[in-house]
């Protein structure tokens, strides 16, 4: 009887041992499966990150649209960039022959305040880009005189010689204004108004293009043609 009981106990222990071994095998297998799935998921995450980096790289390679910049500059029209102010004194002389061999000369000395402006024709500006060297070149035309204005209210007369045989007329004053404007234009040119206008225009267009967010990585060059 005791032998049968011992035999049953032995079988029961063996069953427990087998069950335990089976449980261990299942746990080990499940753990291995989890590791494989985790590895796969990690692989997927890495692949997505790489794709994101590729997309960012593509965005960096987008070239700047210089045509849009050029068109916005061209719409400015004529841009006045330099002024010349002065009080200009001139002498107007009128000569008239008398009795063939004689001449009568009348004259007056006067002054006006003048305002001369110069600028560039922005509608002719060209914009080019070099993507390899990351440079933008702005080509602008040379400056020119745009206006010569005389302030009529500022007229002052300093002296006048008016002879009987050669009286000064209103037409003489009108003619003097025409010559006065041409003299003002010449004085402004002698003072370097066009050269100063060129420099101001170069700075203006350079600063304008630099202010655009899309040009931050570019070197801006301005040339006068």
In this structure, the answer to whether residues 120 and 217 fall within a common structural domain is yes
Q: Which pLDDT belongs to residue 159?
A: 75
d(CA 36, CA 162): 115
**Orientation of helix 193-210 relative to helix 170-190, angle to 10°:** 60
Domain count, the chain: 2
Helix locations, the chain, DSSP H:
2-60, 66-74, 170-190, 193-210
d(CA 119, CA 174): 28
In this structure, the answer to whether residues 152 and 201 fall within a common structural domain is yes
In this structure, the answer to whether residues 22 and 116 fall within a common structural domain is no
**Domain span at 46:** 1-62
Burial class (CB in 10 A: 0-12, 13-18, 19+), 58: exposed
d(CA 141, CA 123): 9
Dig out the tokens for 225 from the structure: 């043609």
Q: Which pLDDT belongs to residue 69?
A: 93
In this structure, the answer to whether residues 54 and 106 fall within a common structural domain is no
Domain end among 62, 79, 106: 62
In this structure, the answer to whether residues 51 and 109 fall within a common structural domain is no
In this structure, the answer to whether residues 32 and 50 fall within a common structural domain is yes
pLDDT in single tens digits along all 225 residues of the chain: 444 445 445 555 554 555 555 565 455 554 555 455 544 434 333 233 434 454 444 444 456 888 999 999 999 899 999 999 999 998 877 776 666 666 667 777 889 999 999 999 999 999 999 999 999 999 999 999 999 999 989 988 887 776 656 566 666 677 777 888 899 999 999 999 999 999 999 999 999 999 999 899 999 999 998
In this structure, the answer to whether residues 30 and 111 fall within a common structural domain is no
Nearest Cα to Cα of residue 76 among 109, 122, 116: 122
* Strand arrangement, sheet containing 102-121: 78-98, 102-121, 144-161
Q: Which pLDDT belongs to residue 29?
A: 55
- Output the pTM of the full model: 0.63
């Amino acid at each position: 009887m005791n032998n049968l009981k011992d035999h049953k106990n032995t079988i029961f222990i063996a069953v427990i041992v087998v069950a335990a071994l089976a449980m261990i095998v299942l746990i080990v297998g499940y753990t291995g499966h989890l590791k494989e799935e985790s590895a796969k998921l990690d692989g997927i995450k890495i692949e997505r990150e790489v794709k994101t980096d590729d997309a960012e790289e593509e965005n960096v390679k987008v070239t700047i649209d210089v045509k849009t910049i050029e068109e916005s500059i061209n719409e400015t029209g004529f841009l006045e960039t330099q002024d010349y102010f002065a009080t200009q004194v001139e002498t107007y002389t009128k000569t008239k022959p008398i009795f063939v061999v004689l001449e009568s000369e009348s004259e007056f000395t006067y002054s006006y305040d003048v305002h001369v402006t110069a600028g560039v024709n922005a509608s002719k500006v060209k914009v080019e880009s070099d993507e390899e060297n990351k440079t933008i070149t702005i080509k602008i035309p040379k400056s020119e005189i745009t206006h010569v204005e005389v302030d009529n209210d500022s007229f002052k007369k300093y002296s006048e010689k008016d002879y009987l045989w050669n009286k000064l007329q209103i037409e003489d004053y009108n003619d003097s204004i025409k010559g006065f404007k041409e003299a003002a234009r010449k004085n402004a040119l002698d003072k370097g108004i066009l050269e100063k206008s060129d420099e101001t225009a170069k700075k203006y267009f350079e600063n304008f293009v630099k202010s655009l967010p899309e040009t931050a990585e570019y070197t801006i060059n301005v040339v006068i043609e």
